[in-house]
Structure 1
């Protein structure tokens, strides 16, 4: 760590008191899990702060009114693409809590890995089991899934796909649960030919033949020049590796089997059914197929679903939807992420004694190229109303590919308006690349949701577990809107503390796209009846400064009894980046009181800013500024101690 003296010039420019560089030991350390392997993946509980709301009330994330709590599964591997696949794992260790599995397909030059995390009231902060791929570019972990209890030993099992194995012939591996569970595959399933990409999609199939053992389904979309094949393997006390049912696509380039899923019991005959997507069918119009289970299941589709138009890629993603309308029949979900120039659509089809192929609920994306419906998933019962819920992702949403996940609560009259929306947090995070129910990991009686952000931090990737959802609909009490098109208003938001000293909490909202990325930030004073018109407007100083990309309360840095704010402008000019501190006051103005300069423009100084309390105990609160581009993206963080006078 570099320790610098604090220096204040007459111009109000300040030098950091402490600089934290990337060579400082990370606070996340690798530990050893039950597999005996070094574990390079951890879960981080997100920072929780006690805040005042705009009505002056103290709130915490645990109180009624927050949509969810979350844990972050992060990878320490370079470009591992953690979160490329996510799934519930069932209860693999038999402790009564559901577990989760996360794939990192690009780990170690594409060898790939998958991580299992055991659930619990105080969920372990390290992965408990690490499963390893076999060879470079084999892409182990491309797809992961619970397998159910395929061998009937009382422990749930998992299945992991490895489509790049052996010249993309592909493999899939089943790992039996146990106490303790190990990381050696118990059953290995192998594709038929080079280029098959067997294992690109894997899923629990439910019990399709009614023998009391869950079965699995594996897709090989590249088989026979992209015609594609799907294989069902029956579970059993002595499960073998020979397919029991094999289904084949209709024509070359259909990509049949690119997506596969358990369909639930859509026709109510007591057997689980299988769902297969073929997004390349009919000039990429796309198609999906349901195969009814039975004691002697065959390979002829019982229901087929066709996309709306050529190029829509209908069936790119498919999933059971559980029973969203509560009629006792399983329902299904299919995505068409290229509908209307990439706007995207997703469709729910209700099951029934005589199931039809007309969508009962249609959900449509908002912006072209966002690819709404690239991933769709059964979400369990998130809000505890006894209806199944679903999730649909739009991984390119928010203009900078940060991604969004849209949650729809089931009900007797289910509609196509999202009940909750989860936002990606950084450029190119691609949140929602993979989504899945997580089961009930913490035993609170509510199902949980897991989503992968495969592109986070230059493709290192991460997965986020959302383990608490409100029971009921959540609506905003106030909404604020940007002034002009392309302002990117609300690209950053934060509490501002109490900047005007009236006893109510205030908020700050950034609009870094304002006026060709000159940028702005808006402060809204709280009150018993807060309005939606900004009370103070702070302005960037030059075009492309990206002022307002990050905003935060700074605490009371000058000790005058008023909270202050800090705003970053990481693109200030060609030679430097900046951050600005504005002192609060009964009559707060918009002139910066302190200007912090980065070392050079390319360091992205100010891309993140934050208050950090009083770290040195001098009675003045302090601030922290990051520079992620420092030294070839090695990164640096700067701590500025308060009392800038």
Structure 2
């Protein structure tokens, strides 16, 4: 970077970071949903931690924690370190560890870094941990341990290990296992030794191993910084898929690298491919500020702006904007795109306090508030606000424009030398509610025991001002809609001109007073950390009317009867007619006229659906009765009249042109085919009449069958009894 570009870049960072400096005066909304302390004094519980994925296959993510100073017993195994695994569940994380591991080797510092992913493709997440000061045959060579997950949890002893080969190499300085760089379906393992020499002293080195069903393959790739005292590979992390090519990418921090200035630091990214990683970085960035230690932490941020490309977060823990705020620390977000990561950061924020080391750690938090945008968490290990070096952590929500300018969660150590924010992480869903959860720790905080360390987990949830309507499109004649507040009650609703509230506190909308239109409604919650307002749109449409009836509730599917037409109510409109269940046929679905002869017998609900500004639906029940007439050659030769029709109390059957002495049976049949009344006529005279009482028969449409010697003639009658 030439001097002009460097000055321009630093000036831009100064202006942008002043806009994004955390405000430290707002009230708090979040409290820990799960908290745990170490099981012995001075254990450094929470030095490292991560979302472990689903280690036992129960559908819930689990939590992996390292306690680097665990000493049991102190005399012979001082600082051996200890690993803890806590299972997730419907109520969140368990309060007791499901699995622990101790190496029983003094000063191993087990758990210096922790990671997880499914390396062997068996569906269970596996655990990886660094033991940076482990001594085998070489002093402080370090080693990395891998434990395979299963339905019964991790194995008791490591399933695989990789040891350093140099004195004080510190193998296991960083680990990464939560991605697949070559797209073969197995997660791949990356590990580092930040003090590796070859030949440059303390240049650092990163190794890559492919995953497979039989375990790690390789190393198949490595990277060295090629500069004395650069401390490369602390950290190494997955960047996500920054160019959306289907392969995960790797980001490496080299925080003591001399790029433009002494110890300005460097971060490099290697893009994944079917053939793995290239030997030279595909992307790199530096701060351009002397001793800023850019790249002290680097991690995948997730997709913070929802454009489909993953993004990264990088920190410079000793960067400063002015002399009075020496070593305040900065964090940067670089957006992904078609060609990879952008050259310039889209978001920069600073600690705003001298020696705070804001950005000591940073991580993608996942989508904590489930708004479709990934969020980022940043720690400031040495922040002070009443307590010496208590530390703090900050959560920033993503948005269509990228990370927001202000944090939405902030917590402090609230204890001298607690070092809250030395490690932060996220991206797990421990209770499987769809909201990602995030983690922060204070590894030297006294929580039940002296300096045992504490880990806090915050379960994801909506932001304070989140709200929604159950239906954001209503009709003016509907029930007044009331917003559902997803965040916190106690705020106030406002709206664009024309919309009238019944109550601006509850947000109930007076539809009749508001009238037809599209309105913006905003809920503002005072005193929260970040953006205090969320706006949604409500559409109020003009009323529709679909009311209709038919002249009768029952019809016979006779080809001789007229097909019934619908009758609209006053002010109603024709829409689209339909019926359930299947079997009823319309002559026209626009008018609702029924085709009786084509319809099957049965009872149907007929619907008129009118769609204008609003949707209106009305229904009417119709029963179709099976016509039971027979062919002409078998029909009764008599001439039969049935009157009055419609009738009530009494109906008369008049029969002419019959055979003398013929007996005719008369049956009245309901719409189920049941014979409900039977009469008989003996034909002796030239014309016979039969009065049939019907006063006890319910109103409806019936079939009257005249039967003689196997011959049948059917008539339809409407009975009007009340």
Q: For residue 450 of structure 2, give the secondary structure of its aligned residue in structure 1.
A: helix
* Distance change >3 Å, CA 186–CA 308, structure 1 → 2: same
Counterpart of 1:606? none
Which of 428, 437, 440 is the matching residue for 1:380?
428
Distance 1:45 1:207 in 2: 28
Which of 80, 87, 98 is the matching residue for 2:108?
80
How far the C-alpha of 1:71 sits from its partner, in A, is 1.1
Which of 105, 115, 128 is the matching residue for 2:132?
105
Distance 1:67 1:226 in 2: 43
* Distance change >3 Å, CA 74–CA 275, structure 1 → 2: same
Counterpart of 1:152? 183
Q: For residue 223 of structure 1, give the secondary structure of its aligned residue in structure 2.
A: coil
Aligned counterparts, 1:51-90, within 5 A:
67-88=95-116, 90=117
* Distance change >3 Å, CA 379–CA 213, structure 1 → 2: closer
Matched, 1:301 2:345: yes
Counterpart of 1:400? 450
Q: For residue 431 of structure 2, give the secondary structure of its aligned residue in structure 1.
A: coil
Counterpart of 2:33? none
How far the C-alpha of 1:69 sits from its partner, in A, is 3.6
Which of 346, 360, 383 is the matching residue for 2:393?
346
Counterpart of 1:288? 331
Aligned counterparts, 1:92-241, within 5 A:
92-108=119-135, 109-123=139-153, 124-166=155-197, 167-182=201-216, 184-224=218-258, 225-238=262-275, 239-241=277-279
How far the C-alpha of 1:64 sits from its partner, in A, is 10
Q: Deviations over 1:493-527 (max 9, x none)?
A: xxxxxxxxxxxxxxxxxxxxxxxxxxxxxxxxxxx
Could you tell me whether the CA contact under 8 Å between 1:256 and 1:277 is conserved in 2? yes
Distance 1:65 1:273 in 2: 29
Q: Deviations over 1:138-183 (max 9, x none)?
A: 1110111125111111110111111101111111011111021246
Distance 1:45 1:85 in 2: 14
Counterpart of 2:300? 262
Matched, 1:322 2:366: yes
How far the C-alpha of 1:414 sits from its partner, in A, is 6.5
How far the C-alpha of 1:77 sits from its partner, in A, is 2.3
* Distance change >3 Å, CA 200–CA 65, structure 1 → 2: closer
TM-score (norm 2): 0.48
Structure with higher Rg: it is 2
Distance 1:323 1:368 in 2: 32
Q: Which runs of 5+ in 1 are unaligned?
A: 1-20, 27-39, 47-60, 416-645
Counterpart of 2:697? none
Distance 2:126 2:240 in 1: 18
Counterpart of 1:391? 439
Could you tell me whether the CA contact under 8 Å between 2:294 and 2:317 is conserved in 1? yes
Could you tell me whether the CA contact under 8 Å between 1:268 and 1:329 is conserved in 2? yes
Q: Deviations over 1:423-461 (max 9, x none)?
A: xxxxxxxxxxxxxxxxxxxxxxxxxxxxxxxxxxxxxxx
Q: For residue 142 of structure 1, give the secondary structure of its aligned residue in structure 2.
A: strand
Q: For residue 83 of structure 1, give the secondary structure of its aligned residue in structure 2.
A: strand
Q: Deviations over 1:450-503 (max 9, x none)?
A: xxxxxxxxxxxxxxxxxxxxxxxxxxxxxxxxxxxxxxxxxxxxxxxxxxxxxx
CA RMSD between the two structures: 2.6
Counterpart of 1:337? 381
Counterpart of 1:278? 316
Distance 1:151 1:68 in 2: 37
Could you tell me whether the CA contact under 8 Å between 1:42 and 1:125 is conserved in 2? no
Could you tell me whether the CA contact under 8 Å between 1:395 and 1:404 is conserved in 2? yes
How far the C-alpha of 1:278 sits from its partner, in A, is 0.7
Q: Deviations over 1:358-393 (max 9, x none)?
A: 112111222121111111011501122211111101
Distance 1:181 1:43 in 2: 21
Q: For residue 361 of structure 2, give the secondary structure of its aligned residue in structure 1.
A: strand
Distance 1:410 1:270 in 2: 22
Q: Which runs of 5+ in 2 are unaligned?
A: 1-71, 321-325, 466-722
Q: For residue 222 of structure 1, give the secondary structure of its aligned residue in structure 2.
A: coil
Deviates more, 1:308-317 or 1:69-78: 69-78
* Distance change >3 Å, CA 414–CA 80, structure 1 → 2: farther
Could you tell me whether the CA contact under 8 Å between 1:230 and 1:257 is conserved in 2? yes
TM-score (norm 1): 0.54
Distance 2:343 2:90 in 1: 49
Distance 1:323 1:43 in 2: 27
* Distance change >3 Å, CA 158–CA 272, structure 1 → 2: same
Counterpart of 2:647? none
The number of residues matched between the two structures is: 364
Distance 1:313 1:43 in 2: 27
